[in-house]
Each structure stands twice: as structure tokens, then as C-alpha cells.
Structure 1
Amino acid sequence: MKKSWRRFAPLCLALAFAFVFSACTTGGTNQTNGGSAGAGETVDHKTESGGKDSKKIKIGFSMDTLQEERWQRDRDYLVAKGEALGAEVLVQSANSDDAKQIAQAENLISQGVDILIVVPHNADAAAAIVEKAHAAGIKVIAYDRLITNSDVDLYVSFDSVLIGELQAKTVVEKAPKGKYVLIGGADTDYAAHLYKKGQMNILQPLVDKGDIQIVYDQWTKDWNPAVALANMENALTANNNQIDAVIATNDGTAGAVIQALAAQNLAGKIPVSGLDAELAACQRVVEGTQLMTVYTSIKDMAETAAEVAVKMARGEQVETNATENNGKIDVPTILLEPVAATKETMDATVIAEGFHKREDVYKNVK
């Protein structure tokens, strides 16, 4: 019996040493999740094996619509930047349906996204998305449009008030006096109200002075160009075609306005504003039927959103340059600066930055 023990003693000692060594080396694996408690909430449900940086981050991108060219660009730029940063981006579009967007956001949450980026169709309705995401420990970034009455974590957009000011200022320079028509965006879109605020910052003093008369002012349900067309036709009829300027809040509504003007042989005779620098709008600008569009570098905004999404998912600090009150809290905000693109500045803005090719913008200009 003693000989047998001596024969197996070295093996027993080796096994005991291995067990102690293993216990010592695995004792610290729970210390990889540094940062604030809030940051940990977004990743704890995803760290079964080794912490935040040991797995590919999933970004959920819940979009209102992909019907317009600009939103397709947002999607493509954001997906490309996310993938370049090593993340996976899951995209869903709700076709301007509140219930569908909420259901899609729930689906993204169920797929295990680490963070959610939302372009809300309805600023108030999207608060439900924030609540559901937070219940799952997932932070939410409002993209381009603020989510109101919620604890949304971050807002990334352009300075919407400045956009409205650029629109009105450029139109006023062309038509300093006369009858104005305002074709707004969707009443449910918080950004549309900010655009309107900027427009009125420029227009109201001139209205008070008596130089400008606002003879028609309507929102455009769901940003639908067909609604904008009907509104502009009504404005022309109500004023016997005696209109001096139109502030259309984006390029989709501007295109509808110009369609209505063309039917009355007024296209190119009345200045019309826009927003988004869509190719068709840029073509109208250099052709002379649309006075201007506001160029916001969608690439910059999409890439910024992807970058901060990855940082937030990892619990890293994000620098902001503003706050926006959404009716409940002051939301930490990153605002980018827009520029006005006119016939005179098109080459130096939209084309110089590679947003559109010059031959495409000028293809109808002889």
C-alpha cells in the first residue's frame, strides 16, 4: 500500500497544483467592465464571455422611411462606417408607420443589439421605443429628429434652427417684400418645428414691419410630396397666383411646390427653398426653378452617429456640443453645421465635397 501511494503521489500533487493555478487565473475575469454604472447597463446582457470588447457590437438602426434618396444615403453611410469600426448594423424601416416602428424596434432589441439608433416617424410616439430599450438595458440615440418626452440618451443632428434661418434668409434676399407661402414639414416631426422656428426668426420682423405677408401656412403630413402639392395648389388658388416666395422645408416638398408652379407657368419666377441637397433638387437649383437647398453632410452625420454608438456600447465617454430640451430632459446633443447651396455655391459645397458628381447635377444645363 505504501509503495502504491509513493507511485501516485507526484501525479496527485501535479493535479492539485493545476487546480490552484486555474482558480487564481480565472478569479479576475469579472473586472473587465470598467466605466460608469450607466455604461454597464448597456452591455451587461451581452458579456457572457469576456467583457465588452470581446464580441462584435450590434447596432440597431430603426428608420422612419427609406422612400427618399437622402435616407438611403444615411443608411448606407452609417452601415459602412459601423462595419469599418468592426460593428454589425441591423436596419429596419417602418414606412412612416408608428406602430410598425415600435414593433421593429422591439424586434431589434430581441435580436440582441447593444445600442439603438432611431429616426422617429413621430417624435412623441417614439418615446415608447426609448422606454422599451431602457428596460432591456440598451441606450438610444435619436438621429436627425429628436425623440420628445423621453429619457433618450443622445441626439445627433444638424442645427435645425439654423437650417430654417438659412432657408428664410436666402429667400428674403431674393424677395425682400411680398406674399409668402410656408410649406412646412410633418407636424409630428420635432425637427420640423425647429425649422419653422428658424424661418420665423428671419420672417417675423419683416412681417411686423409690413414688408412680408404670410398668406398660406400649412404642415405636410408625413412629409408627403402629394400633400405638399395639394397645399401649394390651394395656396395659388386662394391668392389668384399672386405669390412672391415659397419656403418649402425640404426638397421633397420643394419638388411638389415647383410642380404646382410649373402648371401655372410660374416655375423659376418664384423663389423656393429646400433641404437635403437631393440630386433632383440640386438639378433644379442650377436650372433655376429652385432657389436653394440646405446642404447637410449626411455622411458626416451618419459616420458621427456610428462612431458614438460604438463608444456608448463600450461604455466610453462621448463629447457633445449642445443640449436640446425634449419636453422631459435636456438631451446631450451633437449638432453639425449646415450650409446653403445655391446656383452660385453649388460647386463649392455639394460637388466639392463629393456628395454629387458635377456631370449629374448639370446634366440638363446647356
Structure 2
Amino acid sequence: MRTHLRRAVLAATSVVLICTMAACGEAGGGDDDGGGEDGGGESGGTIGLLLPEDRTTRYESFDRPYIEAKIEELCPDCEVQYANASEDVNAQKQQFDAMLTEGVDAIILDAVDATATASWVEEAAAEDVPVVAYDRLAHGPISGYVSYDNVRVGQLQGESLLAALGDGAEGSRVVMINGSPTDPNAAQFKEGALSVLDGTAEIVFDQDIPGWQAPDAGQKMTDAIEALGDDGFDAVYVGNDGMAAAVVTALQSAGITDVPVGGQDAELAGLQRIVAGQQAFTIYKALRQEADTAAEMAVALIRGDELGDLAPDTVDSETDDGIPARLYEPVAVTVDNILDTVIADDVYTVDQICTDEYADACAEAGLS
């Protein structure tokens, strides 16, 4: 492990930027009892975890606890320093810098703006701190990357939207409400969707939503309705479930209830809308395997190990080529396979989905 002489001097100035163990419940075995031996009999280290926002359900409820738990399992003597940027790229830059100052041995980074990180990652590399890009491929000399096949996510969104249209798919008119232009995944989702929709459907309204902001998505849906008319479109492609909620609300406010709407992320509210017939589908990405792999990569890197089977693929970013990567396969979820996907994987239970409000719809869908 590296020795950082500045750690004690600058710890007080960086505490406002980094969650302490007491405030944020750091994972790891940094207590005096030593936490026991890890699987490889190696000493511990400090791993920084930087997530982009806390508005979407997944990050605080799933990604963070999964990553922390896996690091603790693999390396009981490791500590985790955690910070969430709340969609503020400047705040994330300060958090990243503070982690380097604190002397972390590796960083897991889910970037707010993947195009802004090249100099950050270069600085980390100069200090021998490997950076694992999580979910979004950040710019710079990344040591490892784990995500889903994001073009495939978009293809599944396009295929599912056409399937929801059925016999009306040919010549259909689609409104596209895409994700943030600073998130490289959003561009890949759109690329995949268009590869399926082109030649079958016509895109009649196309809008990116900075920061994946649901209220903005709802407003753009209202703008589309005003521009196109109530019968000027046949389906709505939406980048994720959070924005889909606002899109559905905008449609309902306009009295439109027969237009298929798609999403992504398999959020609880999205699954409930699917059961209720308000949303046609979502895309499920099993977050535990993604989080586990990120933790495994970080622990391997601080031990000086090769990623090997953890990264069987390679990807290229706009700044670097041949980045070791692991890309998992997403799954489309409709009312017909909720039991076999998110429920079978213990992401949500039937009771969580089938609250009183959705009891009748769940019974009809065979979920009660």
C-alpha cells in the first residue's frame, strides 16, 4: 500500500467533502479488532466510492450497500470512504480530490459527467491510485469498467416498445425522451433503440433531458402533446423509470391512456405502473452482480492483482482504448415475467409491489 504523509495534515480540511465512518456507516473492518483475515490473507486498504446522485432509488438503496458489503466480505480490513455528488459535477470533483488527499488506494467512480473526468483520473494514475468506472464509462486512463451492454439495453427498449404496439408497430410514431447528454450510457441507449426503431417507426419528437430530471421529462412530454396533438403519436420511449413516472402523469393529465410507455431500471414504482397497465415495460439490470464485480475489481487492484476473468471484455472511451471491462446482459421486464426476474432475484417481494393500491391489478396479473 502507498504511504501518504499528507493524510493526517489535511484530514480536517477534507472532512466536509467525504463522509466519515460515523456519519455514513462505512463498510470494512477499520476497527481496532482487525476484522479477521481476508480471503487472500492480504492486508487491507482504503477504497473510495463516488456515486452520482441520490434521487434515483438504485444508488442509495442498492448500489452502495451491495458494493460496501462485497468489499467487506472480500477484504475485512479494508475501509470504504463514500460520497454522493447529488448530480453536481463540481461537487464530485471536490470529493474525488479529497479522496486522493485522504490517501485512498483505489476509487470506484460513477461519474456525474463522464466527459469531465479525464484530468481527475490522470491525477489518480500519477499517484498510483487505480480508478474503476462503475456503470458509466468515465474519460481518462480507467483501470477497469463494469456496466451493462448499454446498446443492448436500448435495443431491448426498442424491441419492447414495438412489441407493445403489436400490429400497430409498422409506421408508428414515437416520442423519444432520452437521458442526460453528459451520461454516455444515455447515448448508447438511444443508439440501440434507434437501431431497432429505424425503418419501422418514425421519431416525431426527440428530446434529451439533462441530469435525467423527471420534472423536465414531464414538461417535455407536455410540449410534445401540445406540438403533436393528442393523436399525433403512438408510443413514448423514455430513458428510465424515474422520467417515465412524469411522462405517464403528463399523458394522464392530457387524458391519454392508450399509448405504450417504456422505461428502464426496474424501479419499484415502475414495476407497479407495469402491473397497473400504465407502463408497458422496463429494463432490469441486476445491480448486485454489477456492484459485486466493481468491488472485486477494486480489491484486486489494491492488491496488485490482474483483473483477469473479472474483465473478459475491453471497451474504448473517447480518451483511452482497451479498457478492461465486464459488460452484463440486461433483461426486458413486462407484466408477464416480473415473477421470473426481479422477484426471483429478491430485488422486490410480491408484498412490496402489490400494495393495497395495486392489489386488484396484481391479482389479475397472477402476483397475489
TM-score, normalised relative to structure 1: 0.83
Aligned equivalents of 1:303, 1:59: Cα separation in 2: 14
Q: What is the identity, as a one-letter code, of the residue corresponding to 1:263?
A: S
SS at 1:332's partner residue? strand
Corresponding position of 1:226: 215
Corresponding position of 1:157: 147
Aligned equivalents of 1:316, 1:80: Cα separation in 2: 21
Matched, 1:171 2:165: no
Q: Residue 53 of structure 1 contacts residue 314 of structure 1 at CA under 8 Å; is this kept in 2? A: no
Q: Find 1:338's aligned residue among 322, 330, 334.
A: 330
Cα shift readout 1:146-191 (whole Å, capped 9, x = no counterpart)? 113x211111101100100001101111221321001100001111
Matched, 1:59 2:50: no
Q: Residue 42 of structure 2 contacts residue 303 of structure 2 at CA under 8 Å; is this kept in 1? A: no
Moved more, 307-316 or 326-335: 326-335
Corresponding position of 1:78: 67
Corresponding position of 2:347: 355
The alignment of Structure 1 onto Structure 2 pairs a total of residues equal to: 313
Cα shift readout 1:19-69 (whole Å, capped 9, x = no counterpart)? xxxxxxxxxxxxxxxxxxxxxxxx34479xxxx965322110111111211
The equivalences for 1:168-247 within 5 A come to: 168-175=158-165, 176-177=169-170, 178-206=172-200, 212-242=201-231, 243-247=233-237
Taking only aligned residues, the RMSD between alpha carbons, in angstroms, comes to 1.6
Q: What is the identity, as a one-letter code, of the residue corresponding to 1:193?
A: A
Aligned equivalents of 1:321, 1:315: Cα separation in 2: 18
Q: Percent identity over the alignment?
A: 34
Shift of 1:113: 1.1
Matched, 1:325 2:316: yes
Matched, 1:301 2:290: yes
Aligned equivalents of 1:361, 1:313: Cα separation in 2: 40
Deviating beyond 4 angstroms after TM superposition, the runs of 4 or more aligned structure 1 residues are: none
Corresponding position of 2:272: 283
Shift of 1:107: 0.9
Q: What is the identity, as a one-letter code, of the residue corresponding to 2:156?
A: L
Q: What is the identity, as a one-letter code, of the residue corresponding to 1:111?
A: E
Aligned equivalents of 2:85, 2:93: Cα separation in 1: 9
Larger Rg: 1
Cα shift readout 1:291-340 (whole Å, capped 9, x = no counterpart)? 11101011111111111110111011212222221112222211011101
Q: Residue 178 of structure 2 contacts residue 209 of structure 2 at CA under 8 Å; is this kept in 1? A: yes
Corresponding position of 1:118: 109
Corresponding position of 2:130: 139
Structure 1, unaligned runs of 5 or more: 1-42, 207-211
Shift of 1:141: 0.7
Aligned equivalents of 1:321, 1:335: Cα separation in 2: 9
Q: Residue 132 of structure 2 contacts residue 143 of structure 2 at CA under 8 Å; is this kept in 1? A: yes
